Amino acid sequence: MSDENEVKPKRVLILSASPIRDKLIDRMIADELVRLGCEVQVKPCLREGRKTVLEYQPDVVVTPPIRNPYSRDFVETCKDYGVGVVSRHTEPSCDWGDYKKLSENQKHEILGRWRYDIDKELVWGADEAEILSRRGCGFPVIPVGAIGLDIYFNKALCESLYDKKIFFEKYKLNPELKTLIISSPWGFADSAPDLSIEDIEIAQKDIDGRGKHLAMIEQVVTALRGKWNILITVHPGVVVEPYKQLAEKLAVSLDADSPMMEMILHCDALIHAGSTTAISSHLLNLPAFQYGDVNCKNSDNWWGVPESAISRVSPKYNDVESLIAAIEKAERVSNANIETIKELEKGRYGNMDGLAYQRAAREISEVGGKFNLTWPRSPYDYDQPVIFKDGHGKFDRSFCGICNRSFVVVNREWLHRLCNTMKGDVKIADNLIASCSVCPHCAARFFVKAAN
């Protein structure tokens, strides 16, 4: 017979943003949480997140960054259920130097366009934590370090993923040759189109320069055939078909489903276009070469500013001939710019020591919560004459044409309805509106109604 007073382990649900990219890191966090005494499940966030919360009934849920109304509604409902919520950023964002260069619109992308209420937000670098904390959000934003790179410090895990025989058989590669991985430029075209909303449509477009990248692949394969194994990889979310057609034409292997961190363990060199895999290569003591730049000016890149430091990690080549020559004489050793690595660690990435997952797990384990299924929020507005949910429909937002400060005016139509409800004289409403036609800040009688 079980003891009713027995303390049960905290139930934690980790929801992966990208099961392909994040599964190993999420597994490391989960294992550390188990070591700390928690019970853990790891599931994909999109499509399965809501269902899993109801089935597993966790005390704490770990979500990807909250960037759209879908995710805001999700965490809001979790909080209604009494669940503790931690948002874990899966990628670095920006440092103060880059943040100050952003346009106001780009700053909104960093800060988030929708306010949300959670218990903790875990980010990579200290600068990003400080930037987000200045929103006055009411919950702590905590830097844990470069969590996405922790796997490369975990020798046991890397060895468990390394199986040269299986890898070479899977991709039909020659085990006597060195292996070159060519990574597609970053992009999110066609990622979960059924869940796409207007606000993230820009993320559904493939990046410019794909044709140039495909032409480079063809030249490299032609020049290195018989000297190197070539494996083309496609970033999760990028349109696969153009790369698939080229791979079939050139009779080389392509992978669009495996985590890069698993494949890169088996390679001897990498070509990228300004990718974070440049740092992964460095940590594995592999040479990496950059061709093209997804962080160039006018690219609408996720780093927010052109010519980012991440595009200064690897040697960059503007012509394919020079790129091929560099690969042919490359040694199996990191060719990264160490000063740029230090710059990124101080800024965007935060501490690169392989222990970020432990710091994240500790922060998650300290969050309180207890699942309690509650009646869902009503979609109806049960307003009373003077008590209502919000000002929508009750007030019109205006601004003064003299001092340019904003204020709200009681909506005339709603005030008429209120007077009728209270059996008052409708003319009272007209007089009230007329008497309030001055700016409450500077007393000017000229003001402008804001556009809806």
Asked if 193 and 216 sit in the same domain, the reply is: yes
pLDDT digits (tens, 9 = 90+) for 308-340: 788 899 999 999 999 999 999 999 999 999 999
Residue 387 lies in a domain: no
* Residue 431 pLDDT level (bands cut at 50, 70, 90): very low
Asked if 404 and 310 sit in the same domain, the reply is: no
Is pLDDT larger for residue 209 or for residue 408?
Answer: 408
Residue 377 lies in a domain: no
Q: Burial of 158 by CB count in 10 Å (0-12 exposed, 13-18 middle, 19+ buried)?
A: middle
Tell me how far apart the alpha carbons of residues 381 and 166 are, in angstroms, rounded to a whole number: 60
Residue 124 lies in a domain: yes
Closest CA to 282 of 86, 149, 115: 149
Asked if 257 and 234 sit in the same domain, the reply is: yes
Residue 224 lies in a domain: yes
Asked if 122 and 184 sit in the same domain, the reply is: no
Asked if 328 and 422 sit in the same domain, the reply is: no
Asked if 60 and 117 sit in the same domain, the reply is: yes
Asked if 197 and 237 sit in the same domain, the reply is: yes
Residue 125 lies in a domain: yes
Q: CB neighbours of 417 closer than 8 A, spacing ≥ 6?
A: none
Asked if 131 and 190 sit in the same domain, the reply is: no
Closest CA to 260 of 286, 242, 291, 241: 286
pLDDT digits (tens, 9 = 90+) for 160-188: 988 989 999 999 999 999 999 999 885 54
pLDDT digits (tens, 9 = 90+) for 241-295: 889 999 999 999 999 888 888 899 999 999 998 888 999 999 999 999 999 887 7
Is pLDDT at 196 greater than 60 in this prediction? no
Picking from 365, 384, 415, the residue at the C-terminal end of a domain is 365
Q: What is the DSSP letter of 32?
A: H
- Other beta carbons within 10 Å of 174: 11
CATH code: domain of residue 21? 3.40.50.2300
Task: List 179's β-bridge partners, or say none.
Answer: 229
| Residue whose token pair is 């020591």 | 353
Residue 74 lies in a domain: yes
Tell me how far apart the alpha carbons of residues 120 and 261 are, in angstroms, rounded to a whole number: 27
Asked if 135 and 175 sit in the same domain, the reply is: no
pLDDT digits (tens, 9 = 90+) for 92-134: 988 998 888 888 877 888 888 778 999 999 999 999 999 999 8
Residue 421 lies in a domain: yes
Tell me the CA end-to-end span of the chain in Å, nearest whole number. Answer: 63
Output the pLDDT for position 294: 77
* AA identity, residue 291: Y
* Average pLDDT taken over every residue of the chain: 83
Is pLDDT at 427 greater than 70 in this prediction? no
* Residue 135 pLDDT level (bands cut at 50, 70, 90): confident
Residue 180 lies in a domain: yes
* Residue 433 pLDDT level (bands cut at 50, 70, 90): very low
Tell me how many domains the chain contains: 3
Output the pLDDT for position 275: 87
Which of 144-153, 277-286, 352-361, 423-432 is the least confident region? 423-432
Largest CA distance in the chain: 93
Output the pLDDT for position 319: 94
Asked if 192 and 331 sit in the same domain, the reply is: yes
Is pLDDT at 154 greater than 80 in this prediction? yes
Is pLDDT larger for residue 191 or for residue 27?
Answer: 27
Asked if 115 and 209 sit in the same domain, the reply is: no
CATH code: domain of residue 208? 3.40.50.12580
Tell me how far apart the alpha carbons of residues 63 and 85 are, in angstroms, rounded to a whole number: 7
* Residue 390 pLDDT level (bands cut at 50, 70, 90): low
pLDDT digits (tens, 9 = 90+) for 398-421: 777 777 777 777 777 777 766 765
Residue 65's domain spans which residues? Answer: 11-148+357-365
Q: Burial of 380 by CB count in 10 Å (0-12 exposed, 13-18 middle, 19+ buried)?
A: exposed
Output the pLDDT for position 440: 64
Which of 50-54, 110-114, 279-283, 353-357 is the least confident region? 110-114
Task: List 233's β-bridge partners, or say none.
Answer: 183, 255
| Residue whose token pair is 């382990």 | 9
Asked if 221 and 88 sit in the same domain, the reply is: no
Q: What is the DSSP letter of 97?
A: H
